[in-house]
Amino acid sequence: MKRFSLAATAGALVFGLCASAHAYDPKATIADLDARLAKIGKAHIEGTDTVGGKAVPAIYFGDRKINNNYDVVDAVRKAHEATATVFVRDGEEFVRVSTNVLTPEGKRGTGTQLARNKAYEAVSKGEQYCGPIDVLGTAFDSCYNPIKDAGGKIIGVSYIGHKK
């Protein structure tokens, strides 16, 4: 009887570990992305840069330019099996300047804009958005956070997504 009880407990433990290995939490993932960026330094805009063939503001965290730099977004993919992007505000648009989101052609989606959707509406008002979203034609459970400079101005957006 004890053997069955021990085997059942071990089986439940293994099942639980396997199930949690495939579980994800978008809010925890966006918190990790934002913490990785904050660890580099404070967010600010400095000059312009060409991303995906477009001239856009250059977003920095501390002294590290994020435009065309993929270290942080690729680390989030590795840690959470999630897509991640940093957008910079360019007028009324948010443009992908660092991303592991791929286009249908298999290239990083830099230079593309955040669609005018629920996420856009929320971050434009300085609010977080977490929920279902379509990113370049693929459905994701996502979170978006506004990125603000030291003066509180919205200068970009951080994004993560877990494929549905």
Question: Regarding beta strands 54-61 and 154-163, do their DSSP bridges make them parallel or antiparallel, or are they unpaired?
Answer: unpaired
pLDDT at 44: 98
Q: Tens-of-pLDDT digits for all 164 residues of the chain?
A: 444 333 333 333 333 333 334 468 999 999 999 999 999 999 999 999 999 999 999 999 999 999 999 999 999 999 999 999 999 999 999 999 999 998 889 999 999 999 999 999 999 999 999 999 988 778 899 999 999 999 999 999 999 999 98
Q: pTM (2 decimals)? A: 0.85
* Cα 82 to Cα 101: distance, rounded to the nearest angstrom: 9
Q: CB neighbours of 51 closer than 8 A, spacing ≥ 6?
A: 67, 68, 95, 96, 97, 110, 111
Other C-beta atoms lying within 10 Å of the C-beta of residue 40: 15
* Cα 92 to Cα 154: distance, rounded to the nearest angstrom: 11
Q: What is the architecture of the domain spanning 24-163?
A: 2-Layer Sandwich (3.30)
End-to-end CA distance of the chain: 42
Spell out the domain ranges in the chain. Answer: 24-163
Residue 161: alpha-carbon gap to chain centroid: 6
